[in-house]
Amino acid sequence: MKKISVKKIAWLKSFHIFLASVWIGTGISMLILSLIKGRVINGDELFGVYSSIKLLDDYIIIPSAFGTLITGALICWLTNWGFLKYKWVIIKWVVCIGQILLGTFFLGPWLNGATAIVDTERAQALNNSEFLNFTQMNINLSYIQILLLILLVFLSVFKPWGKRSQRQ
């Protein structure tokens, strides 16, 4: 496969960094919105908060996460970094895919469940143990996910561990 020009690599990296930044920033915004659930005045406000979080998830988090994954794949494919040459690249792949799976199978369903409960119960959702469990688990895992995403940024900058050793 022919590698691409330096200028095209710069564009690709820029889109990758932009999408990762959007993913992290939106994740932080969603976490902050989740933390204010106890400060809402009525059920309609609570529903508004969770509807907003769900919109951010559906229309910003999911596309930016997959965009980050796709641009990362293109960078690996079209540059000399490759997919498996460097330990830090492998770790980024594992963590990124893990983050997407975490969101798909845990964070997303918990958010959808919490939003559905608050849609029907409004302020009474604050007394619903399932709603409280969904929101607390989402908050706890969101902290972990955001920290891991930030770790990926530092891995990208510092590129620790170098190349994998080639066994013969």
Is position 164 within any domain?
no
With respect to residue 119, please indicate whether it lies within any of the assigned structural domains. Answer: yes
How much is the pTM?
0.93
Mean pLDDT in consecutive groups of 10 residues from the start of the chain, 168 residues: 84 97 98 90 95 98 98 94 92 96 97 98 96 97 97 93 70
Q: What is the pLDDT of residue 56?
A: 98
Total domain count, the chain: 1
In a domain, 163, yes or no: no
Q: Residue 45 sits in which domain range?
A: 7-158
Structure tokens at 100: 């997407």
Asked if residue 168 belongs to a domain, the reply is no
Which residue has 């809402």 as its token pair? 40
CB 76 within 8 Å of CB 140 = no
Residue 106 lies inside a defined structural domain of this protein = yes
* Residues counted in the chain: 168
**Sign of the CA dihedral running 153, 158, 161, 166:** positive
Residue 4 has what pLDDT? Answer: 87
What is the pLDDT, as a whole number, of residue 168?
46
Is 1 domain-assigned?
no
pLDDT at 161: 83
Q: Is residue 38 part of a domain?
A: yes
The reported pLDDT for the residue numbered 166 is 65
